[in-house]
Each structure stands twice: as C-alpha cells, then as structure tokens.
Amino acid sequence: MGALVGVYAIWLREIKRALRDRGQLIGGVSRPLLWVLILGIGLNPYFRAEIYGEVRFVVPYTYLQFIFPAVIVLNIMYTAVQSAVSVIADREFGFLREVLVSPMPRSLVLIGKVLGGATVAMVHGCIVLILAEFTDVNLRLGDLFLGLGLMFLLAFGLTCLGIVIANRIRSFEGFGVFSNAVILPLYFTSSSVFPLDPALSGAQTRVLYPEWLVTLVEWNPITYAVDSLRGVFIGFNQFDESYGPIVMVIMVVAFFAIALWDFRRT
C-alpha cells in the first residue's frame, strides 16, 4: 500500500505541474485547431475532388477525416515527450535525488512519472476528439473505448521515450531542441499527412515514391499507431490492423526498459 501511495503521489505531482503550465494547455488546444482548420481545410479540395477533369484522391475519405486521427497522435506526441522535461527540473532542483534515495523502488518511481505524463497526454489527445463532429467523423461508443486504449498505449510509450531523452540531455534548452528533432521526423514519416495507397503493391509504391521514404514510413513505429487510430475512427487501414497494437506494445516495453535502465544507473 505504501508503494501504491508513492506512485499516486508522483502521478499527482505530474498532473498538478501540468495544470499550472498554461503554455502547455494553450498548445494542446491551439495545435489541433491549426492543423484541422488550416491544413485540413486548406488541402481538403486537393485530396478528394475533381479538378479540371482530373480526379485527385487516393482513399475514399475527405482530408479532414484522413488527418483527424493523425492530429490526435500529434497532440499526444508533443505532450508525452515534453512532459519528461519534469525529469530535468527535478534533477536540477534536487527533488529527483530525494525520491531516488527513498525506500521506494525506482521502477515504481518511474511508473508514477510515466503514468502522470501519459495521463496529461491522454487529456490532450481527447481534446482533439471534440473536433470529431466538425470533421464528419462518427465516434461510436465501442470504437471510442478501443481508440482510448490505443491512445493510452501510445501516450505511455512516448512518455517513456521522453524520459529516455531527458536522461541523456541535461539542459532545458537542449531537451527542447532535441525532442523536436525527434518528434517532427517521426510524425512526418508516419504517413500522417499523406497516404501510401494501400491498393498498390510494394514495388508499385516504390516507383511512385522514393524508396528511402517508403522504407522510413514502414519502419517508423508511429506509422502503425496512426494507422490503428484511422482503422478505429474512420475504418481505413493501410496495413494489417493487428500490426498497430503489436508495434505499440513492443514500443512500450522497449522504451520503458531503457528508461528503467537509466533510472537504475542514476
């Protein structure tokens, strides 16, 4: 019971820290609005429309519907990874040292911090769900619960990734720059803003797109997170629908193991 109370205390501290951070809240609201209202609406006519007799669409969905699950992933990615900046702050001001010398196992300390960051990231992901009606995405109750489960897996894994980065980057400035250098390439090479046509074979895809780009998309774990959420929320999958949950579980286990290894060495 004492260990559980300790996990709860660390989790609650992460939640309170996030509630006091107005910039994080503003970013969590403004980011999906910008992506949906500007990028989504701006590119929508070119994604699924007939212009001058030429049909320009790859999948039978509007661009707003196509990008909606990807914006959920984007909001979770930014919040989950950036939440790990608390590790640097705690190290800087001595709080982390006090926690690590306590009788509480370091694995539980890590779980408390990861659960805190993942909870905040989940809230930011749910903010995007409010825009579902605007994007003509019909959220059925069963699909919503399944989607929330996948979102939590993603949030947990990415929070672990953020902590791995924070354990290696010792300054606030360096963490901000390096985390963005990780987030943006992962996001843009996850088939988030453009689709790889599922009707094409692997060879045909590599004719239409540069081979290096197709390889990056296929090896990027975020690709399968985006694809899973698209399958749940709009019924569209570019890959086998079982790949997403499997890849996310592997990602959670791998990043948590690395973060725990770093914590035990601290």
Half-sphere exposure of 85 (CA within 13 A, CB side): 18
d(CA 117, CA 16): 11
pLDDT of res. 186? 92
Residue with token string 């609650």? 12
Model confidence pLDDT, tens digit, residues 157-174: 999 999 999 888 877 778
Sign of CA dihedral 222, 224, 227, 228: negative
d(CA 157, CA 89): 21
Q: Which domain holds residue 142?
A: 2-265
Domain count of the chain?
1
- Positions in the chain whose pLDDT score sits under 50: 50-51
| pTM of this prediction exceeds 0.85 | yes
Q: List all residues 6 or more positions away from 112 whose beta carbon is below 8 Å from its beta carbon.
A: 6, 7, 8, 9, 10, 11, 14
